Chain A
Amino acid sequence: MSEEVSKEFEPKVVAYVCNWCTYLGADLAGTNRLEYPTNVRIIRLPCTGRIDFNLIVKAFENGADSVLVSGCHPGDCHYNAGNYHARRRWMLFRELLATLGLDMDRIHFTWISAAEGRKFQQVVTEITEKTRALGPYTKYREICEV
């Protein structure tokens, strides 16, 4: 669809968000009419603890140019500790992805609470612009073909 709208590069940003904090933060951005680029596609999950990092790889395989993972702030997890699990896993996985040669500028991890509509707007805008500057993630597809 995006080609019809504009000929220039429109990045695809996939956002895996938890149902209780960031999803509601995104809802709040809507309620407050905080405008941001149309590039983000939110996938609602119960908790960031649910995010198996295969999901991130899967997003890149399917043409995502950037991935955002966002959940509740430490201490605020609806399920007590899911976000801590996500963070711990993330620390390990980050190293692994970097070793494999993935572009770490395209994977973002943040906390956005249900009250932070403005932060959601800012994060999504920044990621979209950053990804736009980086260009399409063709390199990933090249790695896959090797």
Chain B
Amino acid sequence: MAGIGVFICWCGENIARTVDVKKVAEEIGKLPGVTVAMEYKYMCSDPGQTLIRNHIRDDKLEGVVVASCSPHMHLRTFRAAAAREGLNPYKVEMANIREHCSWVHQDKERATAKAIELIAMSVAKVSKDKPLDAIKIPVTRRAMVIGGGVAGIQAALDMADGGIEVILVEREPSIGGKMAGLSETFPTLDCSQCILTPRMVDAGQHPKIKLYTWSEVEEVNGFVGNFEVKIRKKARYVDTTKCTGCGNCWNSCPQKKIPSEFDYATGNRTAIYIPFPQAVPARPVIDAEHCLKLTKGRCGICEKKCAAGAIHYDDQDEFVTEKVGAIVVSTGYQLYNFRAPETEKTKGYGEYGYGRFKDVIDSLQFERIVSASGPTSGEIRRPSDGKEPKTVVFISCVGSRDNNKGMAYCSKICCMYNAKHTMLYKHKVHDGEAHVFYMDIRSGGKNYDEFVRRAIEQDGALYHRGRVSKITEEGGKLIVRGVDTLAGKPVTVEADLVVLAAAMVPSKGAEQLAQKLSVGYDQYGFLSESHPKLRPVETNSAGVFVAGACQAPKDIPESVAQASAAAGKVLGMLSKEELTREPEIAHIDEKNCAACFACYRTCPYNAIEKAEVRDRRGNFIKMTARVNPGLCMGCGTCVAVCPSKSADIEGFTDEQIYAQIETLL
């Protein structure tokens, strides 16, 4: 290819100090195909870009190499400049002679020689560059939110208010998530339900939000702008269109002693139930495992009591497919199970006696006990004998920051809710003692540290800096043995109730969902954002966004902020008629393809399709692999596995790379 322009940047002194740019320009000018080779102080500056543009125009350049900094810094800049002058942006290459040359070498002669070789490699590559056009994909202007906790509700409302139709999928019978079960929230001690339930109602009644509760995502197909999500609507045994939510069924159900999931087993529910009175939708489900009619064929009382005729014992799981353009994942968290046996991936906390001692509970259970809507109507009663506990011990970091349990991270919210719990307890039991064992107090946030100080100074919470080694039970008391490392003394507290602040871990099933969505996750199962600083709500799977504690432990304000951010991103994306994507993706030479489908099995994005090749009359000729440009992210794994060399990747073709290598000789 003739007509290659090479533009060598001084980067002020950054490059020119160690690389003899004049000599480089002189040597590069001798390369075949190069018609312009020049140096300039700042290529990325306005006059620098104008210089490049003028040469593209006046010298009719067909390819441009900019030898300057890393392509991660300025490739977009130079491609855009070329495009403005009518040169296809994918005919611009960079040679990294700053980060990879002038900054890491001292010897000017050697650095200059290396710079010449690096540029020659890029010249070889650009000569094999093909013009590429950005890929345009049509967009379905609907979005899905998976997980209807506070983050999911916020994202759904924001998107729906922005005019996008939203499908909200929740696997529990009601939306609301963990927040619906909290008592009061830090640092204002606002009633959690007072804040959340109106939002739940808004989401339930919004004309643009379609709610699927008691439903799970079964399968995800398609790609950014064009997802098809198969949803399994679990058998509810209640026709929600007929049901009025009157409550006759659950009030008359004889199965009354089933541990309530919503109360984390601190209270009971019936077999036909709504998880809590403010549930949205206020429509019950039948728990098929415990219903007498469904297990033993007896009873049937709820059917008789239902005036609306909404009970259907023969209900089956149902599948629906929804088309959406974007997906927000907000599947939240659960607490680390410290009852887990030692053999599991994460080891339990046998020494704290959870499960053995009825009065050792976790923080979410304490939330229910202290909540006005909880099983004790907000009166603090311990589970074993229903007595008011006079001494309560709160233990921080149960699982969190503990490498031995496989969780090196801080769960971030426990310091704050421990302080809150001591306050709520002291406000109700004035003569009670609230002890906290902690490693560090992490209370960064608006009004957060003041809140912790208030718990200690005004409400008299007793803080011990140290760990608890063991809890035993003696005569109805829990003997908590720990240490106060500031006093340098062992501490023993005779407690009536112990509350363990267990680590936040991703919700059950989050990894499987991530796999369905091709979203990455870390060793703990938290979903990976695209960039920790600059792309905090995007994932590396285009069109899939994250919000809330499924990405990392976070509190309510942060979850809500991230949810609104994700909603903003989705609204931005869906505001266009069609999406454009980088064209540096794989393609298959269908004539050559032997249809072995090694690529089909390897592709991490399921972007390879099995397609038929037919002649003009429609006669079948053969099978071939085909790349779905909406799904392909351009990793090139298919290229490496293709035995017939039919797969290649634009921008990094075999031809381009071979051309680069051949300059070595």
CB of A22, distance to nearest CB on chain B (Å)? 12
Interface residues of B in 72-96 (CB under 8 A from A): 72, 96
Nearest opposing residue in chain A for B71, CB measure: A44
Contact of A33 with B103 at beta-carbon distance under 8 Å, contacts A2-B113, A82-B604 already known: yes
List of B residues within 8 angstroms of A35 by Cβ: 104-106
A46 interfacial contact with B, CB 8 Å: yes
B98 interfacial contact with A, CB 8 Å: yes
Contact of B118 with A41 in the complex, beta carbons under 8 Å: yes
Task: Name A's interface SS.
Answer: mixed
A116 interfacial contact with B, CB 8 Å: no
Nearest opposing residue in chain B for A36, CB measure: B104
Contact of A38 with B113 in the complex, beta carbons under 8 Å: yes
List of A residues within 8 angstroms of B520 by Cβ: 77, 80
CB of B451, distance to nearest CB on chain A (Å)? 35
List of A residues within 8 angstroms of B518 by Cβ: 80
Contact of A49 with B637 in the complex, beta carbons under 8 Å: yes
Which stretch from A50-58, A99-107, A131-139 is at the chain B interface? Answer: A50-58
CB of A99, distance to nearest CB on chain B (Å)? 19
Query: Could you say which of A29, A33, A46 contacts B635, with CB atoms under 8 Å apart?
Result: A46
Contact of A23 with B72 in the complex, beta carbons under 8 Å: yes
Q: How large is the interface on B (under 10, 10 to 19, 20 to 34, 35 or more residues)?
A: 35 or more
Which of A43, A46, A86 has the most chain B CB within a 10 Å cutoff? Answer: A46
B320 interfacial contact with A, CB 8 Å: no
A123 interfacial contact with B, CB 8 Å: no
List of A residues within 8 angstroms of B487 by Cβ: none
Q: How large is the interface on A (under 10, 10 to 19, 20 to 34, 35 or more residues)?
A: 35 or more
Contact of A29 with B649 in the complex, beta carbons under 8 Å: no
Contact of A1 with B117 in the complex, beta carbons under 8 Å: yes
Contact of A43 with B660 in the complex, beta carbons under 8 Å: yes
Nearest opposing residue in chain A for B27, CB measure: A1
CA distance A86 to B640 in the complex (A): 9
List of A residues within 8 angstroms of B118 by Cβ: 41
Interface residues of A in 11-27 (CB under 8 A from B): 12, 14, 23-24, 26-27
Contact of B635 with A82 in the complex, beta carbons under 8 Å: yes
Contact of A50 with B113 in the complex, beta carbons under 8 Å: no
CA distance A46 to B634 in the complex (A): 7
Query: Could you say which of B110, B584, B665 contacts A46, with CB atoms under 8 Å apart?
Result: B584
Contact of A34 with B104 at beta-carbon distance under 8 Å, contacts A1-B113, A5-B113 already known: yes
Interface residues of B in 4-52 (CB under 8 A from A): none
CB of B15, distance to nearest CB on chain A (Å)? 11
B522 interfacial contact with A, CB 8 Å: yes
- Other than the given A23-B72, A42-B96, 4 more pairs (CB < 8 A) read A38-B114, A45-B657, A52-B639, A55-B661
10 pairs across A/B with beta carbons < 8 Å? Answer: A5-B109, A14-B661, A35-B106, A38-B105, A41-B117, A45-B657, A49-B636, A50-B652, A55-B661, A63-B664
